[in-house]
Amino acid sequence: MRVATISGKVESLVVSKSRKNLLFTSSEKDSLGIGAVAAASIGESLSSTSLAGSGAGAEIEMEFFTCTVGDEAISGIFYNVEFKNGQIIDFVIDQWSDKNVLAARDPVRRIVWTQPYCTKGHAAQLRSNIVGSFMTSIAAAILLFVADYFSGSAERLSRLESAISQAFVSFILTLVLCFFVCKRVFRNSFNATLVFEALGFLEPAQVNLPKGNRNAERKYALETGAEEVQDMPWRFRYDKSAMKISG
């Protein structure tokens, strides 16, 4: 992927809504059985409510937009298109994909809009994958152990042995499932690092937009008197100290 940044006044903005498979291909969803729980376990900032209601596990209603910035005609998809005609916005585009927008930044309001697979740099995503995978696997093993131990009528020692065996199998299988999910997401996180570098972040590989959003939102509200915005999918406030350039 080759990225470039286009900055300027938004004009001729047209927005429409449609559903989109955002993270996994149909074959990946069918083979892995991935839904809200699996996606959340790897630390993606996916709306589990939206995912659970989608049935397919990864299709969400998004806003498609087209606009012009200077002489450039661009298009993209965000969960919510908040920018308007006349605003100065920085767009990161994929030069190999017909100027498709990968992320956008409002330097005045210090907001970044991203794709679902573009919320963390590859170093931050790797940490999230490891922690999320082990926590999910341990939780699954504990739940199965408790269910198996207290559901049987056999001797106590026999139930304990069975529960331990079932919990171990659950831990391994869940870990394997998480590995395949993480492999898919981690592959995209290298592209996210490129996007964050284009946006001007100081340490693009270490960027974790979901983690820093709440503090940045609170700080912005204190500085400007604006009301804090509740968490919105793939829309993040950032601290200006994280950027190479002001804003």
Q: Which position has the higher pLDDT, 170 or 38?
A: 170
Quick one: average pLDDT of 105-130?
A: 91
Choose one of 118, 136, 157: the last residue of a domain: 118
CA contacts within 13 A on the Cβ side of 8: 12
Whether residue 224 lies inside any domain: the answer is no
Whether residue 16 lies inside any domain: the answer is yes
- What is the token pair recorded at 18? 């449609």
The pTM of the full predicted model, rounded to 2 decimals, is: 0.76
Confidence of residue 152 (pLDDT cuts 50, 70, 90): low
pLDDT exceeds cutoff 60 at 215: yes
Choose one of 118, 149, 167: the last residue of a domain: 118
At residue 245, the pLDDT reads: 66
At residue 160, the pLDDT reads: 83
Residues 15 and 80 in one domain: yes
Residues 82 and 34 in one domain: yes
Euclidean distance between CA atoms 19 and 54, whole angstroms: 9
At residue 46, the pLDDT reads: 42
Q: Which residues have CB under 8 Å from 11's CB, separation 6+?
A: 67, 68, 69, 85, 86
Residue numbers of the domain that contains 37: 3-118
Q: Which position has the higher pLDDT, 56 or 214?
A: 214
Q: How far is CA 187 from CA 6, 62, 113, 232, in A?
A: 25, 23, 20, 24
User: How many domains in the chain?
Assistant: 2
Residues 61 and 162 in one domain: no
Confidence of residue 22 (pLDDT cuts 50, 70, 90): low
Residues 90 and 45 in one domain: yes
Whether residue 240 lies inside any domain: the answer is no
Choose one of 118, 140, 156: the last residue of a domain: 118
Residues 147 and 49 in one domain: no
Euclidean distance between CA atoms 237 and 228, whole angstroms: 10
Residues 134 and 55 in one domain: no
Residues 152 and 106 in one domain: no
pLDDT exceeds cutoff 90 at 80: yes
Percentage of the residues of the chain whose pLDDT score is greater than 70: 82
At residue 244, the pLDDT reads: 81
Whether residue 145 lies inside any domain: the answer is yes
Instruction: Round the average pLDDT of the chain to a whole number and report it.
Output: 82
Residues 102 and 130 in one domain: no
Quick one: average pLDDT of 139-151?
A: 86
At residue 77, the pLDDT reads: 92
Residues 112 and 126 in one domain: no
